[in-house]
Amino acid sequence: MSHKITFFIDGIEYTAKSGQSILQAADENGVYIPRLCYHPELKPSGSCRICTVNVNGRNMAACTTPVADGMIILNETEELQDVRRALVEMLFIEGNHFCPSCERSGNCELQALAYRLKIMSPRFPYIFPKRSLDATHPAIFIDGNRCIQCGRCVRAAEELDGKPILGFIGRGGDLKIKASSSEGLAGVGIAPDDHCVQVCPVGAIIIKETAYRIPIGQRSYDKKPIGSDIEAKARKSPTGAV
Ligand code: FES
């Protein structure tokens, strides 16, 4: 049975249920910890490290580290923000992200995170890798240029859709998302409302013929920064208590 525990983020005391990850406990208390590969409906993979926080002196992934009684966590330090900035910048230079013309612009978690972290330009040189496109399916396409290898789609296909139809091939910078059929997406049973399509945080899995439908000004992050939905919980509960 879960019991209540007490922990601290940036010097403020909060409560959590035992068994929760630091990220889940922070979310419930209205504290936003940046993240990309985490999705609340999926098992955490701890792959992007954007959620890095400092726990009792060590840097840990908040999405895979269980919160514990008395834990002292740092989240909003300039050092941690710069670690996150560097990780996001690497994602930008390792792919081909042309935000102004991307169909997900304004609804993209990577772009929104870059704005939230106040990234102006990456500190690393652009790689401009050659990435492939899979447009074999009549309703969905994969654009490898925008994939950040977060693995959300792979996990969603397995855990929520019950069909392991997506996976990665290659290594390191050559890691690519791929449908598990020699015919590409056309050879797997995938549909636009499948979770594996819906959970993509960027514009790597796109439903055809739906581009640019939401006008500028009404997109997810046009008015509020990413994470503001979580922070709104703290404003409703000024004590920060769950
Ligand atoms: S969100 Fe925790 S490692 Fe990606």
Contact 32, 25 (CB under 8 A): no
**CA–centroid distance for 137 within its chain:** 25
Q: What are the two backbone dihedrals, phi and then psi, of residue 149, each rounded to the nearest 5 degrees?
A: 55, 35
Cα 136 to ligand 1 centroid, rounded to whole Å: 31
Domain boundaries, the chain: 1-129+212-242, 130-210
Across the beta sheet with 205-207, the strand order is 133-134, 140-143, 205-207
Percentage of the chain beyond pLDDT 90 is: 91
Supply angle C-alpha 114, 118, 120, rounded to 5: 85
Q: Is the pLDDT of residue 211 over 50?
A: yes
Band (pLDDT 50/70/90 cuts) for residue 239 is low
CA atoms in the 13 A half-sphere facing the CB of 54: 14
Cα 150 to ligand 1 centroid, rounded to whole Å: 9
- Nearest Cα to Cα of residue 47 among 165, 201, 184, 187: 201
Q: Which atom of ligand 1 is nearest to 64's Cα? A: 2
| Cα-Cα end-to-end distance for the chain | 17
1-129+212-242 with 130-210: one CATH topology? no
Within the chain, where are the H helices? 22-28, 78-94, 109-116, 152-159, 195-198, 228-236
Distance between CA atoms of residues 74 and 60, nearest Å: 10
The reported pTM is 0.94
Highest CATH level, class, for 130-210: alpha beta
> Probe ligand 1: pick from 22, 24, 38, max atoms within 8 Å of CB?
38
Per-residue tokens: 138: 């009549």
Q: Give the containing element (helix H, strand E) for 179.
A: strand 176-179
- Nearest Cα to Cα of residue 43 among 176, 157, 169, 193: 157
Write out residues with Cβ below 6 Å of ligand 1. 35-38, 46-51, 61, 63
Task: Give per-residue pLDDT as tens, 32-53.
Answer: 999 999 999 999 999 999 999 9
Q: Is the pLDDT of residue 103 over 60?
A: yes
Band (pLDDT 50/70/90 cuts) for residue 108 is very high
The predicted pLDDT at position 231 comes to: 97
Q: What are the two backbone dihedrals, phi and then psi, of residue 119, each rounded to the nearest 5 degrees?
A: -85, 125
Task: Give per-residue pLDDT as tens, 115-166.
Answer: 999 999 999 999 999 999 999 999 999 999 999 999 999 999 999 999 999 9
Report the CATH number of the 1-129+212-242 domain. Answer: 3.10.20.740
Distance between CA atoms of residues 38 and 113, nearest Å: 14
The predicted pLDDT at position 240 comes to: 47
User: What average pLDDT does range 86-112 have in this prediction?
Assistant: 96
Cα 51 to ligand 1 centroid, rounded to whole Å: 5
